[in-house]
């Protein structure tokens, strides 16, 4: 059975690109490049869902950074309350 990971645009790419060190300088360029790859990924939504459900604390998942996912989680929690 095929999983969303099998369809991911990042499959087989260097993972360092999706897990930049820091949030300034060269890390910004890596984040931008990772997000560009995610933008057209057929598995983007499933990737983001997985990261949100499993609390992925680091890296670019579904085209979103740690901070962006934190904001999404906060919104989800506030709408459930």
- pTM greater than 0.85: yes
Tens-place pLDDT, residues 52-80: 999 999 999 999 999 999 999 998 888 77
Please give the pLDDT value at position 23. 81
Task: Using the CB atoms, write b or e for 33-70: b if 16+ within 10 Å.
Answer: ebbebbeebebbebbbebbbeeebeebbbbbbbeeebe
Please give the pLDDT value at position 47. 98
Tens-place pLDDT, residues 1-34: 789 999 999 999 999 999 998 888 889 999 999 9
């Amino acid at each position: 059975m095929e999983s969303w990971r099998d369809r991911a645009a990042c499959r087989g790419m260097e993972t360092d690109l999706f897990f930049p060190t820091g949030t300034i300088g060269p890390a910004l360029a890596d984040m931008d490049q990772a997000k560009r790859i995610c933008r057209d990924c057929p598995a983007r939504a499933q990737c983001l869902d997985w990261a949100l459900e499993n609390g992925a604390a680091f890296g670019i998942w579904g085209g979103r950074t740690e901070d962006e996912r934190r904001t999404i989680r906060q919104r989800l929690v506030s709408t459930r309350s």
